Amino acid sequence: MRYGKTKKIMVTGGAGFLGSHLCERLLAQGHEVLCVDNFFTGTRRNIVHMLDNSGFELLRHDITFPLYAEIDEIYNLACPASPVHYQFDPVQTTKTSVHGAINVLGLAKRTRAKVFQASTSEVYGDPEVHPQPEEYWGRVNPIGYRSCYDEGKRCAETLFFDYHRQHDVNIKVARIFNTYGPRMHPNDGRVVSNFVTQALKGDDITIYGDGLQTRSFCYVDDLIDGILALMETPREVTGPINLGNPDEHTMRGLAEQIIAMTGSASRIVSRPLPSDDPRQRQPDITKAKQLLGWTPTITLRDGLARTIDYFDRFLKDDAASTKL
């Protein structure tokens, strides 16, 4: 550990949606941040405002290959997280979760760094238990189109706990539920970014099936609060711990709310339900409340207003640059 309160912290996937918000928060706390990203889904736009900060360093690197640095903490967020992106190259997606976990855990073992794993609610698959507590082992198809992500993240959890038991690595594992906010990729295929961009453009809003399947949406600032709170817990608190907003919404209801908030003339149209798409997803956050003192505070309406404003500016900037 370095002298004083300043730490050298590595964030893999640091140019992505969640990673860039995390880098920003760590810099604000006075830490030195090493942002590691291969820019498969992350973008320089997300981090450009940090490049002149003397405490920020950017390394273009794919974590399926070993990396070497002297650090105090690691946040492993590297992996495409939307079906559009992780199904584009499913073999590489699995490698990112599995080889990537091995590489960051090896680095943590050598440097004795505390290491955080961004796992996912997808480890629960299409759940038979609702809401999903951490003790539920899940219902995942191991050979489906989503398996590269779901099973990759499950295997990463296995590796984290085996390194903890076998090598005494200080680990923290969070299972992240649907999160939204500024800096989401506009073409990532996730429901909030899809609906908001479609509404702002006046395009049809696409729902799948009857639109009655549910999700729980956590605003990004709340999620970062939860991640940082987990990293500050005593060593014996390893997780996995669910981080997400337990308020549940149907896809049709979300589409209607976004249309109303944007004043859009978009229509809602239905498409067939994708393979292995879960019907329900809601976190049981009892452990997060008890162990972290954490609960989301930002309402869906407030979070959507900030997200709509971001995408409105993003689309106008993009249109202006296209005309040049």
Cα angle 164-170-173, degrees, rounded to a multiple of 5 = 80
Asked if 53 and 27 count as a contact pair (C-beta separation under 8 A), the reply is: yes
* Other C-beta atoms lying within 10 Å of the C-beta of residue 62: 19
Q: Is 208 exposed, middle or buried (0-12, 13-18, 19+ CB in 10 A)?
A: middle
CA-based nearest residue to 175, from 101, 230, 233, 247: 230
Half-sphere exposure of 46 (CA within 13 A, CB side): 25
Q: What is the dihedral of CA 45, 46, 48, 54, to 10 degrees?
A: -170
Asked if 115 and 104 count as a contact pair (C-beta separation under 8 A), the reply is: yes
CA-based nearest residue to 177, from 269, 103, 248: 248
Q: 124, 149, 180, 219: which one is catalytic?
A: 149
131 prior amide bond cis, ω within 30: yes
> For residue 116, what is the enclosing H or E element?
strand 114-120
Retrieve residue 266's tokens: 């978009």
CA-based nearest residue to 241, from 256, 251, 226: 226
Sign of the torsion angle spanned by Cα atoms 112, 177, 285, 305: positive
- Phi, psi dihedrals of residue 75, rounded to the nearest 5°: -115, 115
- Phi, psi dihedrals of residue 141, rounded to the nearest 5°: -80, 115
Annotated active-site residue 149? The verdict is: yes
Q: Which residues are catalytic?
A: 149
